[in-house]
A and B are shown apart, each in its own frame.
Chain A
Amino acid sequence: MSTLELREVVKHYTSEIETVKAVDGVSLTIGPGEFVALYGPSGSGKTTLLLLAAALARPDSGSVHFDGRALTEMSERESALYRRRDLGFVFQSFHLMPHTSALDNATIKLTGDGCTLREGRRRARPWIERVGLGARADHTPEQLSMGERQRIAIARALANEPRLLLADEPTGNLDSKRSREILALMRDICHERAIPGLLVTHDHDAVPLVDRVYALRDGHMADGMDPELVATSS
């Protein structure tokens, strides 16, 4: 079964002025079907943690494992393959292809992995329907609301049937009602497919919708819910 596991991960960024301890000894395990929220103020290392889980950054020490495989040991080609086949990623700013239909947007990872557009559309269509946009599959992002755009992005993240879902502030540009809908959708999908999901957010609406809450501050993990940290993070 799929499990994301970070062990004693340390990642520092050194600039001319100072060394930023983005992540400083964090351990975290997310099991199958678990949808976890990670809170923390700006600069607390949340984003770095996501990049580590996406095999886009290498820790200075510690290890990141997914499904028993060490992401830290992968070659560039292997890690690209990992992102393409195993990973679903949802961005705060959606990063949709402009002027491209919702359905075609959802095919991007499939075509990146050698599908024709036609084949990609066939595989992505159920996901567009799953996120409730079946009737608007031909609309372009410009014709859709913010909430609908994020739904396309979720369909896109899921179209390759990933075994891990990562989300970076997915509700940062949405109002409360849409936020809750989007978060519930992501949680349901993690449960249905029994895959781990990691959500980095500022959004308090997420608290009741996730299985567990972590808070990150200055690179350290505070297990469980810390009301003060959560309150200050928005």
Chain B
Amino acid sequence: MTPLLSFANVSKHYHDGGRQIRVLDRISLDIDAGVSVGVLGTRRSGKSTLLRLAAGITLPDSGAIHFRGRDITRMTGRERGRLLRGEVAFVSTADWRAASGESVVDHVATSLGSEGLTMREARRRASRALEHVEIGAGDAEEPMSSLSPAERARVLLARALAHEPLLLIADEPALTPSPSERDAFYALLRESTSERKITLLMSSQEMGALQGTRILMSIASGEVVSTEARGTVVPLPRRFGAERPGQ
């Protein structure tokens, strides 16, 4: 069986103040359809880059990324755009900015505009998606800017699910809500994807967020280690480990 998503020898650099930093160094990995994958990594470890590459948002410097057998790196810009419209959904709270005054349902509906829906049809579909994340009709009319971080994370999840994707990519989807809210959100994320047989690829700095994912990957110094290979132990990032204070 062909994996849903596979990276082959993928490298990516970026520039920081004139210096080149290697974020990903010849990464290879396969993700089968229907599984859930958690990527653990510290800030600026390259997990966002990995996820953005998987979504076709940015292109690698070298290597190939296949999604359902098609090489994303060889697609035209338009084809990569289409990927995000149907088969792949991308969620990131870090970059998201609300247009003030826009209601929750309208916010979700506009993201469906690329599929050629009228505003009315898009609203209907948006409301259904919002119900799945337990945001009722009343709350759906509230402006986006009035949401708490936890509610916002759920709306962004609804926005992604409304596209009915095959692969949901979530880059640190819930920043800084309280522990109970956070756990509830991740449970919702796992349930709503497994129910619909959506493959989930998510990242976090926190071990707790990734509990319950079938495969755990760790990313550090440009390398990825995955539990998928039999017998592999994912080395935890430093602060979860045994490094002594003061070092």
Binding site for B on A (CB under 8 A): 41-42, 139, 142-146, 148-149, 174-176, 179, 202, 204-205, 207-209, 228, 231-234
| B176 touching A42, Cβ below 8 Å | yes
Which residues of B are found within 8 Å of A144, using beta-carbon distances?
Answer: 17-18
Which residues of A are found within 8 Å of B17, using beta-carbon distances?
Answer: 139, 142-146, 148-149
Binding site for A on B (CB under 8 A): 16-19, 42-45, 149, 176, 178-179, 182, 205-206, 208, 237-239, 244-247
Look across to chain A and name the residue whose beta carbon is closest to the beta carbon of B43: A175
| B42 touching A143, Cβ below 8 Å | no
Q: How far is the CA of A207 from the CA of B244 in the complex (A)?
A: 11
With A176-B42, A228-B179 given, is the CB distance from A205 to B16 under 8 Å? no
Q: How far is the CA of A211 from the CA of B246 in the complex (A)?
A: 11
Q: A42-B149, A143-B17 are in contact. List 15 more A-B contacts (CB 8 A).
A: A41-B176, A41-B178, A146-B17, A174-B43, A175-B43, A175-B45, A205-B239, A208-B244, A208-B245, A209-B245, A228-B179, A231-B206, A232-B178, A232-B179, A232-B182
Q: How far is the CA of A137 from the CA of B19 in the complex (A)?
A: 16
Chain A interface SS verdict (over half): helix
The residue in A139, A144, A174, A234 that gathers the most chain B C-beta atoms within 10 A of its C-beta is A234
Q: A191: shortest Cβ distance to chain B, in Å?
A: 14
Which residues of B are found within 8 Å of A42, using beta-carbon distances?
Answer: 149, 176
Q: How far is the CA of A96 from the CA of B182 in the complex (A)?
A: 35
Q: How far is the CA of A139 from the CA of B19 in the complex (A)?
A: 13
Q: How far is the CA of A209 from the CA of B247 in the complex (A)?
A: 9
Contact of B205 among A143, A228, A234 (CB under 8 A): A234
Which residues of B are found within 8 Å of A233, using beta-carbon distances?
Answer: 176
Which residues of A are found within 8 Å of B244, using beta-carbon distances?
Answer: 208
Q: How far is the CA of A163 from the CA of B239 in the complex (A)?
A: 32
Q: Which 8 A-B pairs have the closest CB atoms?
A: A208-B245, A145-B17, A175-B44, A144-B17, A145-B16, A232-B179, A204-B239, A176-B42
Q: B66: shortest Cβ distance to chain A, in Å?
A: 29
Which residues of B are found within 8 Å of A149, using beta-carbon distances?
Answer: 17
Can you name 20 A-B pairs with beta carbons within 8 Å? A41-B178, A42-B149, A139-B17, A143-B17, A145-B16, A145-B18, A146-B17, A148-B17, A174-B43, A174-B44, A175-B44, A175-B45, A176-B42, A176-B43, A176-B238, A205-B239, A207-B245, A231-B206, A232-B178, A232-B179
Look across to chain A and name the residue whose beta carbon is closest to the beta carbon of B205: A234
Which residues of B are found within 8 Å of A209, using beta-carbon distances?
Answer: 245-246
Which residues of B are found within 8 Å of A204, using beta-carbon distances?
Answer: 239
Look across to chain B and name the residue whose beta carbon is closest to the beta carbon of A17: B146
Q: B205: shortest Cβ distance to chain A, in Å?
A: 6
Look across to chain B and name the residue whose beta carbon is closest to the beta carbon of A204: B239
Which residues of A are found within 8 Å of B208, using beta-carbon distances?
Answer: 231
Look across to chain A and name the residue whose beta carbon is closest to the beta carbon of B238: A176
Q: How far is the CA of A145 from the CA of B246 in the complex (A)?
A: 25
Contact of A146 among B16, B18, B206 (CB under 8 A): B16
Which residues of A are found within 8 Å of B182, using beta-carbon distances?
Answer: 232
Q: How far is the CA of A148 from the CA of B18 in the complex (A)?
A: 11
Look across to chain B and name the residue whose beta carbon is closest to the beta carbon of A140: B17
Which residues of A are found within 8 Å of B45, using beta-carbon distances?
Answer: 175-176
